[in-house]
Chains A and B, each alone.
Chain A
Amino acid sequence: MTELTRRSLLGTAAGAGVAAFLPAMPPSARAAAPPAGKQAPGFYRYKVGDYELTQISDGSRTSPMPDGFVRNIPKQQALAAAEAAYMPKGQITVPFNPVVVNTGSKLVLIDTGFPPGAVPTAGLCQANLAAAGIDTKAIDMVVLSHLHPDHINGVKTADGALAFPNAEIKAPAPDWAFWMSDDNMSKAATDMMKGYFANTRKVLSNVADKVTRYEWGKEVAPGITAIDASGHTPGHTAFAVASSSGRVLVQSDVTNIPDLFLRNPDWHVAFDIDPDKAVATRRKFYDMAAAEKALIAGFHFAFPSLGYVEKDGAGYRLVPVAWNAVL
């Protein structure tokens, strides 16, 4: 430790030379060790069959709930649901959690979060990868579930270089076709949609030669099968990661935050491009997952963002898994 703490001043550590300071110190000033002021690294490991998976926190964002955050209900109702879920009054917290899958033959990152510094309380993916001892250069494949900013922007570093220089980037073919279509962009009606079209191109156009398109119903990597979960975006994809008898469903954005949209699956989050289809996908996905008691990794669940989903009234409830202190 290089910093001279009040503890070392008052203790013996700083030596006799500090004796002169002592009379000036009020007796109540004896301080504890300084606060750390920093959260633990946000990564969590678990096994799925022979595969080792690591949930990586990219951080979260808490902000006043925007008007229209839930399109088809009064704002008061959405605010009440957030408050019932112990969020700060009037605010909404949305976490972001990419996943690393080590299949033994490939090191695969599913979704990327934001680049460092892009958002004050997010953009932690690369730092947490480092804390987990995962070298960004060792990532063989980056699989994108869909092309929204919180999933793709971390493909780049803060200065615009490729964050995973040796990785093949895999994008769902229907999403690539949708967002890269000039015709679709010209028809974008809202600022949000215009922003998404611009962002997709800004992040991916100049690395398009690194991007491979993948199809649903096929393996995108060994043991990782792409599942049509469209509605949120035209090419929105969930994944089944399976090894031996183990399996986890990486749901991506089948729901946004569970406190609102898992409990109320008919609510339309502002980001769902085809909300009715998103609702149908959501119900089908969770009815199946609940029946199978399937483990689910949710990009917008609270870290470590793993849980089971069960039916509860007209909606569903997330039961987070208990942290396993050993692997």
Chain B
Amino acid sequence: MTKLSRRDVVTGSVALTAGSVLAATTISPAAAAAPPAGRQAPGFYRYKVGSIEITVVTDGVNKFKFADNHVTNKSRDEVNAALAAAYYEKDMMTTPYNPVVVNTGSKLVVIDTGTSEANFARSKGAAGQFHGNLAAAGIDRNAVDLVVISHFHGDHINGLLTPDNKLAFANAEILVPAAEWKYFMDDGEMSRAPAGRMQEVFTNLRRVFDALGRKVTPYEAGTEVAPGITAIATPGHTPGHNSHIVASGSDKVYVQADVTHVPYLFTRHPDWHAMYDQDGAMAEQTRRKVYDMLAAERMMVQGFHYPFPGLAYVERSGAGYREIPVPWNPTI
């Protein structure tokens, strides 16, 4: 410990040279407790799916004042009412990011990558935590065999790059949805995309993939991308958006990516369209289909934008659904 704590001062465990510090310090009448830690626990959580070990590794949380069109078909007042019902602060959107690591026994697979190490400093540590939490979980990113990308939004792909624009997973093959690649790498599509956010999406993903020399392997929906990991087309959020079912033995989990954005808005209200949904109507149709299946089969869902650890069951509730967080298992 390099910092002089009040405890040290009060208990005299600091050597005599601290005498001058003592004289200059105003000591509160009460003896001080141990200094506060001032930082959160490392953000990772493990569970088994059959013989497969999954580690949810959080990239952190982005909290921001949301725009009037954040939910394109609902007013600010309606969004605020939903936030209040879920014990969230008015006018603020709290968005967690939760990539997962799947150890199939033969392959170490990362699904989505978070907002990037570079964003850690930019966000003052609130997000961009994925690589730090990987290390805390004892996972060597150089040991990652495959990185599977669900879709091309920045919070899913930016973590592919180190701050100096190198591949963050030096030995990994990068798998991307073929439909996503075809659409977003098409210069015609880019030229027809509206200005503002959509142009930024195109520009950002080209920045990332160009830095990698566009060295990626496209995968088709409906195929196994790694042993036990099957890609499912879940379009609407983006044209080539994919979810992934991880299955082993009789166990499975549905790694949904962005079938819903934050659950306290879009699981509760599947008819609400997030501004991030490129085709709101198609995204809603996909969402209802997936969530009806999850509820009927009592299948666990792993949600990228669910609060860490992001693992839940889904039940029908009123006109929408309700997520039931899976209780933290202290041992695995």
Contact = CB atoms under 8 A, between A and B. Distances in A.
Interface in A52-75: 52, 54, 57-60
A320 B312 CA distance: 12
Nearest to A301: B327
B327 A33 contact: no
Given A41-B41, A105-B30, A33 B103 contact: yes
A133 B103 contact: no
B20 interface: no
Contact of B94 (A42, A124, A322): A322
Nearest to A87: B327
B82 interface: no
A58 to B, nearest CB: 8
A42 B328 contact: yes
A39 B330 contact: yes
Contact of B33 (A104, A302, A323, A326): A104
Nearest to A133: B37
Given A36-B53, A37-B53, A57-B328, A132 B41 contact: yes
B38 interface: yes
B221 interface: no
A38 interface: yes
Task: Please tell me the size bucket of the interface on B.
Answer: 35 or more
Given A31-B106, A33-B103, A52-B36, A45 B330 contact: no
B139 A33 contact: yes
A326 B40 CA distance: 5
B58 A32 contact: no
Interface string A111-133: 00000000001101000000111
A7 interface: yes
A39 B96 contact: no
B196 interface: no
Given A32-B106, A325-B61, A52 B38 contact: yes
A110 B279 CA distance: 51
Contacts of B298: 86
Contacts of A320: 325
Interface in A80-125: 85-86, 93, 95, 102-107, 121-122, 124
Contacts of A326: 39-40, 60-61, 125-126
B41 A107 contact: no
A35 B103 contact: yes
A140 B137 CA distance: 31
B332 interface: yes
A58 B332 CA distance: 14
A35 B53 contact: yes
A140 B7 CA distance: 12
Contact of A138 (B28, B34, B45, B331): B34
Contacts of A52: 36-38
Contacts of A105: 28, 30-33
B58 A325 contact: yes
Interface string B33-64: 11011111111111000000101001011000
A41 B308 CA distance: 14
The 4 nearest A-B residue pairs measured at CB: A302-B327, A322-B307, A105-B30, A52-B36
Given A59-B331, A93-B327, A322-B307, 18 more contacts: A31-B106, A32-B107, A35-B105, A36-B55, A37-B332, A39-B46, A40-B44, A40-B45, A54-B37, A104-B36, A107-B34, A124-B330, A132-B37, A319-B87, A322-B94, A323-B58, A325-B58, A325-B96
